[in-house]
Amino acid sequence: MAMAAESPSSAASSQFASTQWSVVRQAASADPALARDALAELCSQYWFPLYAYVRRRTSAGEAEDLTQAFFAHLLSSPIVSSAERAQGKFRAYLLACCNHFLANERAAAAAQKRGGGQPALPLDSLLSFDPREAVRRYDLQPATEQTPERLFDRQWALALLEAALVELAGECGAAGDGPLFERLKPMLAATGEAPARYAAIAAELGLSEDAVKKSAQRLRQRYGAILRRRVGATVSAPGQLEEEIRDLFAALRS
Query: 7 lies in a domain?
Result: no
Residue 39 CB contacts under 8 Å (≥ 6 apart), including other chains: 27, 71, 75, 121, 123, 126, 127
CA distances from 65 to 69, 102, 114, 120, 186 (A): 6, 12, 9, 12, 35
Query: 5 lies in a domain?
Result: no
Could you give the number of structural domains in the chain? 2
Comparing CA positions, the residue from 37, 15, 16 lying closest to residue 26 is 37
Q: Do 132 and 23 fall within a single domain? A: yes
Q: Do 134 and 249 fall within a single domain? A: no
Q: Do 99 and 156 fall within a single domain? A: no
Query: 9 lies in a domain?
Result: no
Q: Do 134 and 90 fall within a single domain? A: yes
Q: Do 132 and 174 fall within a single domain? A: no
**Which of 31-35, 40-44, 171-175 is modeled with the greatest confidence?**
171-175
Q: Do 205 and 96 fall within a single domain? A: no
Q: Do 130 and 149 fall within a single domain? A: no
Which of 97, 124, 141 terminates a domain? The answer is: 141
Which of 141, 176, 209 terminates a domain? The answer is: 141
Which of 84, 119, 141 terminates a domain? The answer is: 141
Task: Note the pLDDT tens digit of each residue in 100-158.
Answer: 899 988 777 644 555 444 444 556 655 666 777 788 888 887 777 789 999 999 999 99
How big is the chain, counted in residues?
Answer: 254
Query: 39 lies in a domain?
Result: yes
Range of the domain at 251: 145-254
Q: Do 254 and 155 fall within a single domain? A: yes
CA distances from 204 to 100, 171, 173, 212, 229 (A): 54, 22, 18, 11, 33
Query: 160 lies in a domain?
Result: yes
Q: Do 233 and 173 fall within a single domain? A: yes
Query: How many Cα neighbours within 13 Å face the side chain of 108?
Result: 12
Query: 4 lies in a domain?
Result: no
Query: 6 lies in a domain?
Result: no
Task: Note the pLDDT tens digit of each residue in 195-248.
Answer: 788 999 999 999 999 999 999 999 999 999 999 998 988 887 778 899 999 999
Q: Do 120 and 216 fall within a single domain? A: no
**In whole angstroms, what separates CA 151 from the centre of its chain?**
14
pTM of structure: 0.76
Q: How many CB atoms lie within 10 A of CB 17?
A: 10
For residue 132, the surrounding DSSP H or E stretch is helix 132-140
Comparing CA positions, the residue from 37, 83, 51 lying closest to residue 234 is 83
The amino acid sitting at 13 is S
Task: Note the pLDDT tens digit of each residue in 48-100.
Answer: 999 999 999 988 878 988 998 888 887 766 555 555 544 678 888 889 889 98
Q: Do 86 and 169 fall within a single domain? A: no
Asked whether 38 and 23 are in contact (CB, 8 A), the reply is: yes
Q: Do 184 and 238 fall within a single domain? A: yes
Query: 10 lies in a domain?
Result: no
